[in-house]
């Protein structure tokens, strides 16, 4: 009966997805990671991805998955997607020094999220005053597990609806 209803037998796990689209977690201008004014991100030391220069301080989930890390300073969040991709959204540059000021979390570790679910809101004006930049990298931190990471061309993107890259499992 379970196989008919869900496509798998009782006790058998559903197979992980092999390909997945990652959507913009913020509205703003999509930029190449190499153009981020921070060598940790621009030299891809943490992994490959893209960045967004946000026009508003609302961060939503770019994938369906689970929150695996919410930094106590609320300036960054990690999500494990259906393909197993571990996606880091790092709001602004050098924002860890703000110690959570101007950030409000709307999700917690262990929460299941869908594309567009609110994760964090932040005060972009305060970030501009107290941090190096509002530019927000979106990084796949376990990229070795993926065959391809196909980026979209730089443009204006809307949170939760504009695709920023596709990932394919090896």
Active site residues: 90
DSSP letter (8 states) at residue 6: H
* Six-digit token string for 15: 């197979």
Least Cα distance to 114 among 19, 18, 23, 11 occurs for 23
**Sequential DSSP letters for 139-161:** EETTGGGEEEEEEPPS-EE-TTT
- The sign of the dihedral angle between the CA atoms of 160, 140, 127, 39 is negative
Residue keyed to tokens 């946000």: 54
Tell me the C-alpha to C-alpha distance, in Å, between residue 74 and each of 50, 69, 109.
Answer: 20, 10, 12
How many CB atoms sit inside 10 A of residue 62's CB? 29
Whether 86 and 141 have beta carbons less than 8 Å apart is answered as yes
Q: How far apart are CA 158 and CA 55, in angstroms?
A: 10
């Amino acid at each position: 009966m379970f196989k008919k209803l869900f496509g798998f037998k009782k006790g058998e796990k559903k197979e992980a997805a092999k390909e997945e689209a990652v959507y913009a977690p913020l509205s703003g201008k999509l930029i190449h990671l190499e153009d981020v004014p921070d060598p940790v991100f621009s030299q891809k030391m943490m992994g490959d991805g893209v960045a967004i220069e946000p026009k508003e301080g609302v961060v939503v989930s770019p994938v369906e998955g689970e929150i695996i890390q919410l930094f106590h300073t609320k300036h960054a969040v990690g999500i494990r997607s259906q393909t197993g991709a571990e996606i880091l959204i790092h709001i602004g540059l050098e924002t860890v020094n703000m110690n959570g000021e101007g950030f409000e979390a709307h999700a917690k570790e262990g929460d299941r999220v869908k594309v567009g679910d609110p994760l964090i809101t932040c005060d972009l004006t305060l970030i501009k005053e107290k941090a190096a930049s509002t530019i927000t990298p979106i990084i796949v931190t376990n990229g070795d597990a993926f065959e391809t990471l196909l980026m979209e061309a730089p443009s204006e993107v809307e949170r939760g609806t504009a695709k920023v890259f596709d990932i394919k499992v090896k």
